[in-house]
Structure 1
Amino acid sequence: MDQSLRDAAQQGNIDALYASIQKDVKVLDRIDELPFVETPLHVVAFAGHTQFASEIMRLKPSFSRKRNEDGFTPVHLALQNNQTEVVRQLLDVDEDLVRVQGREGVTPLHYVAQTGNLVLLAEFLNVCPKSIKDVTILRDTAFHIALKKTK
């Protein structure tokens, strides 16, 4: 990703996003071609700019399921950085993002079970009840993870 697009995402600057697109109309398409890549949505998930996140999701919904080189999706990064409004914004667009597996098969639901965030755990199960069946590479469900946390 070029530096001007990265800066736009870090600052949440939608005008700068479109300036990058005007300069190179295929800039987002080239990022999307890569299987593991940091997208502008990853950057903004870390930074916490909800409006920019919504704009990127509208332009390239596929970015929400992309894993970066470390195996994390934008939702995973937003959770790791306590950007819960970005998480909620992304889930408003696509509830199934609760189920997207990242590194070691951990979904956002597994992550909130690990951290003990009961508010988000309840919200995730409410928007996507079938996610309770998802397992990590260790075959753990969110329920198993939550039980281990209480021990």
Structure 2
Amino acid sequence: MARLYDAALKGDVHSLNNLLQEDALILERCIIERGRYTQSPLHVAAKMGHLDFVKTVLEANSTMRFAHDEDGMTPVHVAAIHGKIDVLETFHSEEPQAIRELTKSGETVLHLCVKHNQMEALLLLLNHKDEIDLELLINSEDSDGNTILHLAVIDKQVEIDMIDLANEICNKILK
């Protein structure tokens, strides 16, 4: 498993393919413990932005995109938090349902984009209103009762004008 984790960390698709040849079920047994967090190699590759590695894992094990780590986050959530736009786009294009997954705290991927000031990722997802139930995600409340607009105002983490963000969201819904 250490070799698999190292391959994910480096984005080494060649090593991943070699590991899959040695053990075709390695991804099914691959929950990797590092410190206090348990993550799949897909979580690690998504965090690092290793697009080719992500695509290879999804070809070998497409259900891994729904795997939750100990914090209740999927690889999609991890990609959004770290602003890995290409990875996020890949997850969306291959399985839009993955965008709808919630964390343990009831947060959507949109909540995480706002909380971590990933506006490019947020706007990317807003542009896919036809494939995901955007209105539902925008109005979704986390476990504290906050929508994405609440978070943007409360935490004051968003460095853009909130009126512009609200207008952008409304325009995406109405188009």
Letter in 2 for 1:124: L
Q: SS in structure 1 opposite 2:39?
A: coil
List gaps (5 residues or longer) in structure 2.
Answer: 32-36, 157-161, 163-175
Q: Mark the structure with the bigger radius of gyration.
A: 2
After TM superposition, where is structure 1 displaced by more than 3 Å over at least 4 residues in a row?
115-119
The correspondence for 1:146, drawn from 146, 152, 159, is 152
- Does the 8 Å contact 2:80/2:118 carry over to 1? no
Sort the Cα spacing of 1:141 and 1:96 in 2 relative to 1 into closer, same or farther, 3 A: farther
| Within-5 A mapping of 1:67-86 | 67-86=68-87
Deviation at 1:95, TM superposition (A): 2.1
The correspondence for 1:135, drawn from 141, 147, 161, is 141
- What do you get for the CA RMSD once the two structures are aligned? 2.4
Sort the Cα spacing of 1:23 and 1:96 in 2 relative to 1 into closer, same or farther, 3 A: same
Partner residue, 1:119: 120
More helix by share: 1
Letter in 2 for 1:3: A
Report % sequence identity.
27
Q: Number of aligned pairs?
A: 147
List gaps (5 residues or longer) in structure 1.
Answer: none
Deviation at 1:22, TM superposition (A): 1.7
Deviation at 1:6, TM superposition (A): 1.0
| Within-5 A mapping of 1:67-106 | 67-106=68-107
| Within-5 A mapping of 1:18-57 | 18-31=17-30, 37-57=38-58
Superposition TM-score, scaled by structure 2 size:
0.72
Between the aligned partners of 2:47 and 2:93, the Cα distance in structure 1 is 18
